[in-house]
Structures are given as structure tokens and as C-alpha cells.
Structure 1
């Protein structure tokens, strides 16, 4: 299959040698590729991690949850009636919705609006933190009605660490501990939590938003050719095909597909392709692969070209996100 590499990247980018277009594969071959079993089974397949035990209310509008999850754990798709913010103090996770996929390293967090179905894959062992926000305090402006990736400040990180993460209702064993530690009774917020909540919400509103997701056309809406092309690109991050080849594989012209990217996703193909590269590269870096290997797997001819793109997009060198170099929380 073709790859995610940009066909119009300058000479410092990936190789631009010829690659077979998706159209050159028979439908049967494409079907086999789509249905092929994953090379490695997930470490664990879990449900929705009991969000109902942390439901925010008018009395406790901000709830916090923390779970340590092993790499390759997959949280099944689920939705709930309140918004959430997900990040890990260490490790990397991937959050996916029908509209796209979002890679979340420790310095980032992803916002999921109320009612949006989502799943999570843990790329690297992670202490996964989730904040649930009642509609009374959740941001309501237009950008927050879709998934948003934000920068996690040191203040936000410190505030999250201070939030109570006991479920509601408290298990008997935890209830005794809560009385000893001064944790809030069921249904009420402690004085400390009541002070943290508005400050943390203000910090959330101030956080810089970062284009790190890989948006997808909404299923069942828009042009089906664009959706098919995007899904095919995401399945094949190692080969090098041009936009013209990708367009031909879905029965459209290059000009038509370029217009569809702008109209439906608000990005050029090159911008979208860069997001795909980052989404592909970050998990590989988190697993400790050498930058040179990650660059090659991402379609780049040289490590220096890949590093230059990565630094421009992320503000830091690839090695900063390596599981071998990043300090634990």
C-alpha cells in the first residue's frame, strides 16, 4: 500500500522515489491488508474505566481519576454526558474518536466534549489522568465542541496532582482511609477541591491549543473518497506515494482531493500529512526506537530532515519524547 509521506515535500524531506499507487493493488489484496490480524495482541482490553463512579455534579463539578495502565492496553469506545480532559504524567497514549486520532505525550492533554464516543490506546506504560467537568464549568465556546489538544503547564500538572481521585461511592476499605485523610464525603467537595477547581478551569482556558490531532472526515458525511483516502494513508505509514497516486486510488483527481482537504478538514494535504507523521512517530519514539529508525519508518530520507520537521512542529527535538531519555514523573 502507499504511504503517508508527503508527495510535495521539499528536497530536505522524505525520499520522493516512485511507489506503487493503492490503485495498483487488487481489491482482494486490499481486503486482505485491511483484515490482517494485528501483529501483537493488546496487553489488556478494558471497558470504560468506570466513569460513572466519578460523575461530576453541581456540588462537585470537577472530578479526577487516575489509573496506571500498561503499554498496549486498549480502552474500548465509550461516551458519557460530561466533558473530559485526558493526559498522563508519564507515558504516551492515543485517543481516537470518529473525527480523528490524537497522540498525547506527557506535555500535552486532549479535551473530549460531552457525548463524544472515544477510545484510548496506551502506547507506553502510563499513569493516565482523567478530569471530568460538569457543564457548569466546562468551556462552552466553539473550539471546545470538538477535540482539542492543549499544552499542560506546570501549574496545571501540580493542581491535578492535588485532586482527590477516590471513586463515588467509596468502597468500604477506602472510606476508612478517607476519614483519616480528610477526603470529601460522598457527593460533596472538600474545601481544598473547591479552591482548586476554579483555578484549574482558568488554567485550562488559558492553555495554548496545539494542532496535534489527525482529523478525519465525519463518517457518513462529506465526500466518501476523502474518508477512504485518509483511512488508507493512516494504515500505511511506511511507503512513499504522491497525492496524485492516492487520489487515483479513490477515483478522484489530485485537484479534487486537495480541495476536499481544505473544505472538509481545514488543512492542506501537506499539513494533514505532517500530523500523520507526528502521530506515527511519537509512539515509536516513546518505545525507545532510535531517531534514525523512526525517521526511516516515517518516510524520511535522513534523520536530520525528520528532526528539523519534528522540532518545528513540536518545539522540541525527537529525543525529548524518547522513552529512553524522558524522566519519569
Structure 2
């Protein structure tokens, strides 16, 4: 987790879906590097930020997403949230009957359309007990909820998750890379910091994650680069922040990894 100030989850039970209100909204501002500690609940959750990038972590994966993306968390999945920068966090809590089907039983990243964003903003974000609604307000809320569910079902899934290992040594290394991906470029330097041999770490990446160190790091860098690009950072700044000596070296990595130049990748992703 990040080294900033930590916060426990704020009374999620006060926003718990009920048969009468199966869809609830919550909002809060997280300061830079603030954590919402690992927790779980019996309902599904959609997490995204109106401003600022966030990292959502589970036991098996971590998702680094800019404001135009959201993370779907199925019921019962332990998860934590870290603010990569100050963010205006929005959360939807959904009763288990609202979105059924196999696709909704696993965590994933979803595209947030402009309409979906505005619908979430329009939902009342009030904990229980909520003030009494007028008939007109209740009808408006019900209409927003119905359209929001339709838009959520249309949301495009995106392969932006980064797998995490179970091995404690490798997990600590991956967490360090997540916090500061540009600190070292090669496995040898990371191995020295982790107190393990490059050969051992290379074997663990293959056994635990089914990939090489270089491939895993490329996916991590792409996720971070996407959040920086979403904030309008120029390519040279993105390359420097991620530890590349030049924008051309960074461009070569992106092109090699995803088969297209960064400008096209960021536009499509």
C-alpha cells in the first residue's frame, strides 16, 4: 500500500443496498496517497474517480485507472483503494440481483461513458437514514437508476489489470514497483533491493504470474502511463516519470508491447 495517510472504510453499511433501494451512491475526497484499507462487503461495487487517478487492489490483481475508467468489484471480494493523486471518489453499491451473469462475478475495468458519469453524479449520495423524498424526487431517482443500469451493462471492459503474486517476497517487490515504477529499470537493481537473486525473481515471475519480469513491468508502466496521459502530460514528461531516458525509448516500449504507438494506444484505451 501507499505510504500516505490511511483511512478505514467509512461505514459502508450506512449505504448498503436494500430491496427498496438496491442501488446506492457514495462520494468522498481522498488526499494524495490516502488509503482505504482492505475490506469486503456482501454487495457489488463500482469505483471510479471524477478527478484524479486511483488504484484498486485485490489479492490477485491491481487496477490503476484514470477518471474515464471504473473498477467493478463483485460481492465478497476483498479490496483496497489508494489515491494516486487527490481524487473525488465515487462509489456505487449494487444489490446482487441487479446485475447477474458470469461476467459480473469477477473484477475488471470498465469504460465510463460521459452519460454514465453524469448519471452517477445525478444520484443522491446520502447514507441511511435518508431524508424523505417527494413523489417527484423518487420518480426522478428511479428513472436515473434504471438508465444507469442500462448504461453500465453497455460499458466496454478493458484489459487494464496487473496480476499480483501470492509469494510474499515477490509480492513485496511488485508492491514497491507499483508505488514507484520508474525507480529501477532492470531486474538486477530490483533484485538487489529485494535481497534476492535475479534468477530467483525471474523464476518466481514465471511460476506465480506466468510472465517474465519485463512483460509484467511493461503492463505496469502502461497502466501508469495511461493515468498520466489522461491528465494531459506530454510524452516527454511521461517517459521521464517512468524512468525512460527519452520519449523515443518509451515510444518503442509501448509499440513493442501493444503493437501501436503511444498516441494511438492512449486514444483507443
**Aligned partner of 1:79 among 31, 35, 40:** 40
What's the secondary structure of 1:135's corresponding residue?
coil
- State the match for 2:11 in structure 1: 50
- State the match for 2:160 in structure 1: 212
Distance, in Å, in 1 between the alignment partners of 2:216 and 2:234 is 25
Does the alignment pair 1:148 with 2:103? no
**Aligned partner of 2:217 among 254, 259, 273:** 273
**Aligned partner of 2:197 among 224, 231, 249:** 249
- State the match for 2:91 in structure 1: 130
Distance, in Å, in 1 between the alignment partners of 2:133 and 2:148 is 25
- Is the 1:88–1:127 Cα contact (8 Å) retained in structure 2? yes
- State the match for 1:169 in structure 2: 129
Task: Quickly say closer, same or farther: Cα 1:253–1:155, change in 2 above 3 A.
Answer: closer
* Higher-RCO chain (CA-CA 8 Å, sequence separation at least 6): 1
Task: Quickly say closer, same or farther: Cα 1:102–1:137, change in 2 above 3 A.
Answer: same
What's the secondary structure of 1:315's corresponding residue?
helix
Which sections of structure 1, spanning at least 5 residues, go unmatched? Answer: 1-36, 184-189, 318-329
- State the match for 2:259 in structure 1: none
RMSD, aligned α-carbons: 3.5
Does the alignment pair 1:105 with 2:50? no
Structure having the higher Rg: 1
State the Cα distance separating 1:89 from its structure 2 match. Answer: 1.5
**Aligned partner of 2:240 among 292, 296, 302:** 296
Task: Quickly say closer, same or farther: Cα 1:235–1:154, change in 2 above 3 A.
Answer: closer
The number of aligned residues is: 256
Distance, in Å, in 2 between the alignment partners of 1:53 and 1:253 is 44
CA offsets per residue over residues 110-159 of structure 1, 9 Å max, x none? 11111111111222222211001101112431x43222111101111121
- State the match for 1:196 in structure 2: 144
Q: TM-score scaled by structure 1?
A: 0.65
Distance, in Å, in 1 between the alignment partners of 2:169 and 2:33 is 31
State the Cα distance separating 1:252 from its structure 2 match. Answer: 4.2
- Is the 1:258–1:268 Cα contact (8 Å) retained in structure 2? yes
Q: TM-score scaled by structure 2?
A: 0.77
Q: Counterparts in 2 of 1:53-72, with a 5 A limit?
A: 53-72=14-33
- Is the 1:124–1:283 Cα contact (8 Å) retained in structure 2? no
State the Cα distance separating 1:251 from its structure 2 match. Answer: 5.1
Task: Quickly say closer, same or farther: Cα 1:201–1:287, change in 2 above 3 A.
Answer: closer
- Is the 1:225–1:252 Cα contact (8 Å) retained in structure 2? no
Distance, in Å, in 2 between the alignment partners of 1:167 and 1:129 is 14
- Is the 2:47–2:71 Cα contact (8 Å) retained in structure 1? yes
- Is the 1:113–1:146 Cα contact (8 Å) retained in structure 2? yes
Which sections of structure 2, spanning at least 5 residues, go unmatched? Answer: 255-261
What's the secondary structure of 1:75's corresponding residue?
strand
Q: Counterparts in 2 of 1:213-232, with a 5 A limit?
A: 213-217=161-165, 219=166, 227=171, 230-231=174-175
Distance, in Å, in 2 between the alignment partners of 1:208 and 1:102 is 16
CA offsets per residue over residues 89-117 of structure 1, 9 Å max, x none? 21222112211221121110011111111
Distance, in Å, in 1 between the alignment partners of 2:174 and 2:83 is 23
